[in-house]
Amino acid sequence: MWTGGAPAMTDSDQFMSNQDSHLTDNPLLDLSGLPRFRQIEPSLVEPALDAVLHQHRLQIQALESQADDAGWESFAEPLQDMEEQLERVWSPVSHLNAVRDSQELRTAVDACLPKISAFQSEVGQNRALYRGYHRIADSRGFAGLSGARRKVVQNALRDFRLAGAELKGSSRERFREIVTELASLANRFEQNLLDATDHWVLDLDETADLAGLPDSVVELAREAASAAGCPGWRFSLQAPFYLPFMMFSEHRRLRRQMYEAYVTRASEVGPDAKRFDSGDLMVEILTRRGEMARLLGFASYAEYALQDRMAGSPQEVSDFLERLTACTRPAAQVEFDELREFASSTHSHDDLQAWDIPYYSEKLKQSRFAFSDEQVRPYFPLPRVLEGLFAVTEKLFGIRAVKAECEHTWHEDVLFFELRDHTGVVRGCFFLDLYARAHKRGGAWMADCIGRRRLADGALQLPAAFLTCNFMPPVGDKPSLLTHDDVVTLFHEFGHGLHHLLTQVDEPAVAGISGVPWDAVELPSQFLENWCWAPEALVAISGHYQTGEALPDDLLDKLRGARNFQCALQMLRQLEFSIFDMAVHGAESLSTAQAIQQTLDTVREKIAVVHTPAWNRFQNSFSHIFAGGYAAGYYSYKWAEVLSADAFSRFEEDGIFDPRCGRDFLQLILESGGVNDPLDNFIAFRGREPSVEALLRHNGLEK
């Protein structure tokens, strides 16, 4: 049972003692340890939130009277406590909403989101609190505060301005309304996408229709059909079904069905046309974001969003994306021309459509490298991959992952681990939820469960994290077998987890990933991906699920040889999404879903080399920017990839398990939180400013 970091008496215990007696049994209000997921019922969510918001409003009233005499201990620290308590109460609810969706939980979340947004707007626009932080910043004692506390105050002043604290009258009220509306709109966008993904299925009952599909996918589809009480095989739009179907199915007609259903999710076209349509939601989201930015005097939402980023302006982002596009597009055109020539000359297929590209790309890769992702699946059983991931982490950073018991998880498949340093001291813990299933949001992510902080009595609260993926679950007596892309995804999310869990900063607002500029937050995750390709690491990561045999040298050579296969096409696709993201968050208003589509079409006409059907509605499933934290920030993946590639180049020079390099990365990047400018951290690690050359070299795009 994990109990690390739970002191005898915490601020949360005092918070609990102030609640009405009928609420004290509510598991959401018990902040003395990890969330008690098995006891969290939807009916408990709104009462818990109401209780914490009521208590916080009373505390804020008391603090307002102290604003003119504010100090860290008397003013800023209590506000930090309140912010963390609210996050601790809401974090498990938000997580369950993503991994165990139900109508009852949706109803509870829908009722709570406006209340949270209203409270956050009240705090963000509270001039007395704003004045109190100014008082701390202007005081003689400010210079004597720790660097972390000074950064908390500086960030708070910035965030008050960005929350509309300096607005007056109707503008102030309108800003507050917009914040509340945006939270609800983003939640509805995510719900529509989840419903659209879960609703559509392809049921097959003829063995001939399965031609080309890997045995593991066929067996998974058989189990899905059996669970649904249907004969034959059931394929859904979840990643373990969709991706291999598009890559391997020999039936073009069926590939088109799958493709059309996938790229029209939550839109006005396709097999579920208008049923879960998010077209109007996107317009409303963009309209309100633009209005919010203009209320604060910014020309666009992109300009507003970049106020806390490494990139200084939309123009700097545009210049960065254009430079990468110029390096990438010619190579992408060559790759696509090669694919068309291959499909025509080898398979007599001259009409290459979007639903053909994964299929013929896989054929071309097999032809060129004698390699298929399915060949390596048996060598990447999930238990061995986890064991190897943890071995790499220990060798790099001296940190061990140890399986532990946790009484309260939200699903029987969830795993739980501690992170321990070389002396055995626990640094934090994390939950692993790795398999795709119904009522679980697609994709992969890391989310905070608990943040690190030093409590008033000196005790240390240890961090906890949620790591979530959507891999193929075990089938029959086989463990979950991963593709190498899956392995890369797992390393990526674990990199985020290490960033959150290994911090040595004691102020939660700048500990872990908190306070780190959004365009730097991907650095640790993308950095860790590099070890998925290193032969020295692959020995630990791989092993045949039946024999334990290491990945054969010839297969390893083929895997590494295929690393940059169609790399330019993949990069150009991300650049397309990034440019579209900046465009829709620009100064020009987009008042219809058609205008959003036209913006994407214009971007594609300018840079894309692959034809996309007119009925493709990618934007309706672009939850990164319409429901996640990447609005006017999708470029961050490439921005941070420049940093991560250049950081890894030091390991290439000194040895990929060089202990000094590992120690420096641990201390300067993973442990430092959001206290220092990430560029300063990078320069301290690399000895110079970042260069794009390593990224281009890793992707085979160097001039």
Which residues neighbour 443 within 8 Å (Cβ) at sequence distance 6 or greater?
Answer: 470, 623
Instruction: Please state, in angstroms and rounded to a whole number, the distance separating the CA atoms of residues 150 and 127.
Output: 20
Instruction: Please state, in angstroms and rounded to a whole number, the distance separating the CA atoms of residues 266 and 286.
Output: 17
Q: Which 3 state secondary structure label does DSSP give 431? A: strand
Q: Is the dihedral of CA 407, 408, 414, 417 positive or negative?
A: negative
Phi and psi, residue 461, nearest 5°: -90, 120
Q: Are strands 464-471 and 426-435 parallel, antiparallel or unpaired?
A: parallel
Tokens of 631: 């609005």
CB 183 within 8 A of CB 114: yes
Beta bridge partners of 467: 432, 446
Which residues neighbour 58 within 8 Å (Cβ) at sequence distance 6 or greater?
Answer: none
Q: Which residue has the tokens 């077998």?
A: 481
Q: Where are the alpha helices (DSSP H) in 34-168?
A: 42-64, 77-99, 103-124, 127-138, 147-162
Q: Which residue has the tokens 């334990």?
A: 548
Q: Catalytic one among 190, 260, 493, 576?
A: 493
Q: Which 3 state secondary structure label does DSSP give 270? A: coil
Give residue 333's identity as a one-letter amino acid code: Q
Cα 43 → chain centroid:
28
Q: Where are the alpha helices (DSSP H) in 502-614?
A: 523-529, 535-541, 553-561, 567-584, 593-607
Tokens of 258: 């799958």
H or E segment and range at residue 428: strand 426-435
Instruction: Please state, in angstroms and rounded to a whole number, the distance separating the CA atoms of residues 82 and 54.
Output: 11
H or E segment and range at residue 262: helix 252-263
- Tally DSSP H helices, then E strands, for the chain: 27, 9
Beta bridge partners of 202: 235
Cα 254 → chain centroid:
31
Query: How far lies 606's CA from each of 440, 554, 635, in Å?
Result: 36, 41, 17
Total residue count of the chain as it appears in this document: 703
Instruction: Please state, in angstroms and rounded to a whole number, the distance separating the CA atoms of residues 494 and 54.
Output: 37
Instruction: Please state, in angstroms and rounded to a whole number, the distance separating the CA atoms of residues 531 and 482.
Output: 16
Q: Which 3 state secondary structure label does DSSP give 220? A: helix
493 as an active site residue: the answer is yes
CB 581 within 8 A of CB 633: yes
Active site residues: 493
